[in-house]
Amino acid sequence: MRYIYPCVLGDLNKKMVFVGGPRQVGKTTFAKAVLSDKFTAGRYLNWDYDEDRQDILQKRWSAENDLLVFDELHKFPRWKSWIKGIYDVSHEMHSFLITGSARLDVYRRGGDSLMGRYHYWRLHPFSLDEIPNGVSSKDAFARLMTVGGFPEPFLDGDEREARRWRRERFDRVIREDIRDLESIRNIQLLAMFLDMLRHRTGGLITVSSMANELQVSPKTTKSWLEVLERMYLVFSVRPYTKSLPRAVLKPPKVYFFDNGDVLGDEGARFENLVATSLLKRLHFLEDRDGYRYELRYIRDKEGREVDFAVLKDGNLEELIEAKYSDQNISRHLLYYAERLSPLRATQIVAKIRRPYDKGRIRVTDPIRYFRKDIYRA
């Protein structure tokens, strides 16, 4: 069972639950598992299916349905006011689970407010701290580095089939989901922009430079990046500048939710794996505990850079450097660990013989680092 399962069950007793996440990350399987395991007479309705869409529009379901699951409801233009009205009238009769392949926290804005009526959870792909039964940690790491963590390719473990799956997924997201939800004129150029990002994972993304290459305006490429983020294809990591007088306001770094999307070398894929694993943890802690977590990077005018900085309610908790094979402690991590005094400073190395500590720095491998089961805390 997926890692957010017990938390979602608890929240369904109090409010509506929204579950957002990338297409094909397992939201439908998750919702149907909740239905079959804990609810005796629930009903699943998918906006993408014609018959279900008509039942949604005409509000056709039974009073005995103890759980109503609405999948992809955000594609209904008036979904916010529609679900608000349904919930206000019948929340004592039904529990509500709404899932979608876009950021429901964005698409809820405007119109009638849903504030106070729901809890929002974000479902991520498999990772080193969520490995299905029957898969070893070593095998999981190899799969994450090659086929990525989405359930179908991860469980299958076949690189050729993963490439076919990925191409079909890109086509569906770009040509169906984005078309349905966004006013994008040139889908072909957007696809080229996405392909450029796949080659630049972990690098500073200057949208004006990419706009010149594609012969569009910087405003257009900026809006495209925002669209791709809303669709859970990519996420941006922005610079941390607090307490750093010589920090520079640099462009964001961009990473992919699916580690298999990265077209760079092993170092780029490993950095992306660390980034998406960290974001998964921070999203879970934020959705469960209500604190505000941020994933940032550090870079100053002298070029000293640390890959990731974890912030909790604006306070620096941890500095993290990702290295594929370099076991020597990064000078920049050492510098900022002394300068900023975070609670923790860690260098995660994919190819390391044995972990060690030096001063306030912990050098370890990804399997040990992500071994702590925060999802049961």
Own/partner long-range contacts of 260-265 (Cβ < 8 Å, ≥24 apart) = 260/146, 260/147, 260/148, 260/150, 260/153, 260/162, 260/166, 261/148, 261/166, 261/198, 261/233, 262/198, 262/201, 263/198, 263/199, 263/201, 264/199, 264/200, 264/201, 264/202
376, pLDDT greater than 80: no
Q: What is the pLDDT of residue 248?
A: 59
For residues 67 and 172, membership in a common domain is answered with no
Q: What is the pLDDT of residue 339?
A: 92
Residue 129 lies in a domain: no
Residue 130 lies in a domain: no
Residue 292 lies in a domain: yes
Range of the domain at 28: 5-122
Residue 158 lies in a domain: yes
The reported pTM is: 0.93
Residue 131 lies in a domain: no
Segment 256-288, tens digit of pLDDT: 999 999 998 999 999 999 999 999 999 999 999
Give the residue-averaged pLDDT of 82-103.
92
Residue 230 lies in a domain: yes
Q: Count how many domains the chain has.
A: 2
Segment 200-217, tens digit of pLDDT: 999 989 989 999 999 999
Segment 247-261, tens digit of pLDDT: 556 799 999 999 999
Segment 323-362, tens digit of pLDDT: 999 889 999 999 999 999 999 999 999 999 899 999 999 9
Residue bearing tokens 């297409």: 23
For residues 178 and 48, membership in a common domain is answered with no
Identify the domain boundary among 96, 122, 148: 122
Per cent of the chain over pLDDT 90 is 78
For residues 260 and 307, membership in a common domain is answered with yes
For residues 141 and 109, membership in a common domain is answered with no
